Amino acid sequence: MQIIRGDDYQSWIYANSRDLIVVDPWFTKKQVFPKINWLLNRESTQEAYLIKNKLIEKVTHIIITAHFSDHLDIDSLKMFKNTIPIYTTHEASKVLKKEGFTNVNLVKNDDEYDLNSFKLKIYKAGKPYNTTTFAYSINDSRSKVFHEPHMFNQQLEINNVDACIITVDMVKVFGLVQVSMGLNQAKLAMSKLNAKYFIATGIAPKRTKGLISYLLSINESYQEINLMPASCQQVGDSLSL
């Protein structure tokens, strides 16, 4: 399996000789999170990997981890055929079906799904996202990857993964509700997973602009990840397992 950083924020690609899977694809120049530019937005700094390499038509499956628009970017998703298999949450499935996608699969915690040569297993996300998003592992015959896009659930029984994709930049709303992990929490999660490789996701949250950004307290640790065995730091960087 090959893991590829799909953009400069939190999109991921899994590839082998048979399949190409993309997670939370973002291809546009700007994401407007609540669809109101002055509330919250983020501009991309680099061209998305799939666009740059003209690989949109090669994608076999899509995983959407949340209905929030920085995970579910409709303008990006409309670049795919409406019949492409998508695996996602209940709230996101409603949006996707309304937009005309016809092969939307609602995932459930602890269930497993065959994505051709890959197997996808769903895990309960950490609070406060435990009812709205999910974590997952994905594996082929040789390797396993775990991805939690927000807060790691310490109650999970999963270990011996080859690589973990988790957050390292701590973000709190009103300074109280934590929505993204800091570096020390990421280290603990990596230890619990017994992961060989570490990859940071949801990076550089200070690039997010708009009124809501002023309600966020952010402690960025992304520049410190060289203290860990970090991989896939730039768009297009890959890790072969």
Rounded to two decimals, the pTM is 0.95
| Core vs surface per residue 218-239: b (16+ CB within 10 A) or e | eebbbeebeebebbbeebbeeb
Q: Which residue has the tokens 């997670």?
A: 23
SS3 203: coil
Give 124's strand partners: 134
Given CA atoms 82, 87, 92, 97 in this order, what sign does their dihedral have? positive
| Cβ-Cβ contacts under 8 Å for 128 (sequence gap 6 or more) | 151, 177, 179
Counted domains in the chain? 1
Domain that holds residue 204: 2-240
How far apart CA 200 and CA 45 sit, in angstroms, is 17
H helices of the chain, where?
49-52, 74-77, 90-98, 183-193
In order along its 241 residues, the chain shows pLDDT tens digits of 999 999 999 999 999 999 999 999 999 999 998 888 899 999 999 999 999 999 999 999 999 999 999 999 999 999 999 999 999 999 999 999 999 999 999 999 999 999 999 999 999 999 999 999 999 999 998 999 999 999 999 999 998 899 999 999 999 999 999 999 999 999 999 999 999 999 999 999 999 999 999 999 999 887 666 556 678 989 999 999 9
Q: Tell me how far apart the terminal alpha carbons of the chain are, to the nearest angstrom.
A: 5
CATH of the domain at 152: 3.60.15.10
